[in-house]
Structure 1
Amino acid sequence: MGCGRGNNDVGGAGEHHHSRGCVCEVVRAILEIQNAAVQDECNRCTTNCFLEPLGGIVSPARSNVDTRVFTLLNKDGSPFFATFNTPNGSCHCVSIYFRVEDVFDGCCATLRVLVPQDDNGHTVDLLNDYGTAIDFRQVCKVTQFEASDSCITVDLDCFCAVQCIDDVDLGICD
């Protein structure tokens, strides 16, 4: 029952229906936009997760993109994170950035964990010095992303917010 939604009294006579959470609807929309990635003219609005076509979030809009990068917030407001392995297996790192791969069974999703990188293509370690929380100073260093081989399955109703970050080309379909 994300974003404060739940059972709503429809007719005032005790009729109830269940409404999906807004995070679920946004992630479904992101998947549809990624799947329908087409080359269209630029759109100036760059902050809306529902913005079409894929590539509209970047400025200027690029036509060679295949991913809408997003983050999720837990119900307590903290960033949701998942681990990934570096290609050489030397690091079990943490990321708050995702690409939706599939949405199924109502509101479950498979998400690909994205590798946060700086301007030089180096992986940014998002954890604080104690390894116990996300260090937001490190988040500010992230300027690009790389696809990892790590995927997770989540229940989208467990989150209260989704934030779209960027439209990028990760070479997913190459």
Structure 2
Amino acid sequence: MSCKGKDNSCVRDVIKEIIKAQDEVAALMDNGCCDVSCDRSIRDLLSPAGETPRNTTIPFILYCKDCKPFIGSGVIRRQLMTNRSSYLDCLSSPVFRAKKFTNDGKCVKLELLIPEPNGANGGAQAVPSCKTKDVCDFFPGDTIRNLRASGICITVDLDCFCSITCLEPTTPLMATDQVMNDSRYED
């Protein structure tokens, strides 16, 4: 996809449709809080089987104008399990959930979705370091079964992106204190 020319709104337009679809599902489920092709993912999210939607989110990956994936990162406070002290930890992910537009639609608030392994290693969360540079580093082998909401939201300028890849609709696992403070971080 080329980003040459005046109107680079294709990524913005797809994200608008994602937010609109997610808002419709959230209204049906009364759950709108923050804690494969894009067209098909949007259709799948809006036309679930049965009365209650199966999924709430269209996760996606953004690519910068240099064709490299955008890896978002943020810092959270974690509690050590052995005492009452805490520390700051970096989480990063190339997968996002669109939350809402800001700055008259030029920017969007995104939540980082963390790839979650299938209970291997005692349920420990696979969190690649902030130095990870490739999308595939976040999806080792056949170990990833879900995406987990991180609670980390970032605001990005959509003019910085050239393309978007949507994943199949899903309902991310909630970020819980237990998972976010797992025993890997004990001193």
**CA 1:94/1:156 → structure 2, altered by over 3 Å: closer, same or farther?**
same
TM-score by length of 1: 0.69
Distance 1:167 1:135, change over 3 A: closer
- Residue 52 of structure 1 corresponds to which residue in structure 2? 43
For the pair 1:4 / 2:7, whether they are aligned, the reply is no
Specify the SS of the correspondent of 1:36. helix
- Structure with bigger helix share is 2
Is this contact kept in 2: 1:127–1:134, CA < 8 A?
no
2-structure distance, mates of 1:108, 1:74: 15
Q: Which runs of 5+ in 1 are unaligned?
A: 8-18, 40-46
1:65-101 Cα deviation digits (max 9, x unpaired): 1111111011112111122437545631211111000
Query: Do 1:126 and 1:139's aligned partners in 2 also have CA atoms closer than 8 Å?
Result: no
CA RMSD of aligned residues (A): 3.0
* 1:91-110 equivalent positions in 2, closer than 5 A: 91-104=89-102, 105-110=104-109
Aligned partner of 1:75 in structure 2 is 65
Separation in structure 2 between the aligned mates of residue 94 and residue 64 of structure 1, nearest angstrom = 27
Relative to the length of structure 2, the TM-score reads 0.65
CA contact (8 A) 2:90 2:129 kept: no
* Unmatched runs of 5 consecutive residues or more in structure 2: 29-35, 80-86, 175-187
- The CA deviation string for residues 132-151 of structure 1, in whole angstroms up to 9 with x for no partner, is 52362442443311111211
> 1: CA distance between counterparts of 2:71 and 2:139?
12
State the percentage of identical aligned residues: 27
Poorly superposed stretches of 4+, deviation over 4 Å = none
Query: Is the 2:117–2:126 Cα contact (8 Å) retained in structure 1?
Result: yes
Q: 1:28 aligns with which of 16, 19, 25?
A: 16
- Matched to 2:146, the amino acid is Q
Distance change in 2, residues 1:5/1:26 (3 Å): farther
Write out aligned runs for 1:17-166 (5 A): 19-37=7-25, 47-50=36-39, 51-54=42-45, 63-84=53-74, 85=76, 88=79, 91-104=89-102, 105-120=104-119, 121-127=123-129, 131=131, 133-134=133-134, 136-140=136-140, 141-166=143-168
